[in-house]
Amino acid sequence: MFDLNDFDETLPGPWEWDLKRLATSFVVAGRDNELDAADIRPVAMKSVAAYREAMAEFAEGKTMDVWYARLSVEEILEAVPRKADRKRVAKAAKKARSRHSLRALSKLAEKVGGAHRIKSDPPLLLPLRELPSAAKSEDLQAIVESSLERYAATLNDDRKRLLERFRFVEIAMKVVGVGSVGTRCMIVLFEGRDQDDPLFLQVKQASRSVLEDYLPKSEYAEHGQRVIEGQRLMQAASDIFLGWTTEKERQHHYYWRQLHDMKGSADISAMDAIALANYGKLCGWTLARAHARSGDPIAIASYLGETDAFDQAAADFAVRYAGQNERDYAAFVKAIESGRIAAEEG
């Protein structure tokens, strides 16, 4: 199914922040894809219109209907008009279905002495056994092992029983993305009935949301719980192994999830104006569904109204914000060129 992802900054706040950010993203993407300026603003408008129209439907629907609403790959294929785009959707879905722990085992692990262990591929993947400091390795190992029981306590009982069927094998540090630089991220390999029955869990450090500078603090004391509860609330279906824990000694917060649970993503850079507009409609509908689950769909729909007035205003904002984005990037590049910011390419 098609759904939201990445909840590190989740925090209750004004719904329109998400929507304006979504519209801006499509203007940024359109410019990055070098689309005609006349085609870019309508793409942003269509994403907002899809949100408004979906919210109107959710406002009229029954509460449980909103909760169970979801957008399947089959429904997307039926809605996409162009054959080439349908092929892309089908290919992305097929690739996502192949992203599971058994495939991860072939990519991330190797057999040594008849047993699996995580491969070494520094600096992106580094098993704890290869950390320069033995004390550091033992420290991280102890942190993960001691937090495993606390993490399991955050799972539903049926999923806790499922996790108990796996035995712990090994831990490695893993670089996962620009947004996580400077934070701890580890993967943990477990084995089920035999060596060909793996489970990879990812342990990511969670810190305070950047939105806390502008909004009340989270009702959850642990940032890992803030991330997970937000994800469970806004997604139509979440990873069954979502959970959290806190390293009490240093007050580091973490959340746990499967490393590969059939997630995939769209290739935005390959989209023309038509494909980007269709993708925008999917995103608008999905965001509306998430907000209808976590907020008041009747109040939001009433504010948006039945005309395109809000769509126009959001598109105007998106164009201005995308311009600011470009000016910020130009200032960033200039700071690198002048030596004020140290940077290394490649």
Give the pLDDT confidence of 54-92 residue by residue, as tens digits: 999 999 999 999 999 999 888 888 888 888 888 888 888
| CA atoms 75, 101, 161, 149: torsion sign | negative
CA distances from 332 to 184, 230, 314, 338 (A): 26, 32, 26, 10
Number of residues in the chain:
346
Helix (H) or strand (E) holding 115: strand 115-118
Q: How far is CA 198 from CA 105, 112, 227, 336, in A?
A: 7, 16, 26, 44
> In the predicted model, what is the mean pLDDT of the chain?
91
pLDDT digits (tens, 9 = 90+) for 235-288: 998 999 999 998 876 678 999 999 887 888 888 998 999 999 999 999 999 999
Mean pLDDT within 177-206: 88
Question: Rounded to 5 degrees, what angle do the CA atoms 5, 9, 11 make?
Answer: 105
Position 134 scores a pLDDT of 65
Angle, CA 105 vertex, CA 104 and CA 111 arms, to 5°: 155
Q: Are 89 and 81 in contact (CB under 8 A)?
A: no
Would you say the pTM of this structure is higher than 0.95?
Answer: no
Torsion angle, CA of 175/178/181/185, rounded to 10 degrees?
Answer: -40
- Quote the percentage of the chain above a pLDDT of 70: 98
Instruction: Provide the pLDDT for residue 249.
Output: 67
Q: d(Cα 57, Cα 109) in Å, to the nearest integer?
A: 47
Mean pLDDT of 146-159: 91
d(CA 184, CA 143): 12
SS3 111: strand
Q: Using CA of residue 63, residue 64, residue 65, residue 71, what is the dihedral sign?
A: positive
Distances (CA, A) of 204 to 8, 167, 250, 257: 10, 20, 15, 9
Ramachandran area for residue 135 (φ above 0: left; ψ -120 to 50: alpha; else beta): alpha
Give the model confidence (pLDDT) of 302-328 as tens digits: 999 999 999 999 999 999 999 999 999
pLDDT of residue 127: 92
Q: Phi first, then psi: what are they for 30, rounded to 5°?
A: -60, -40
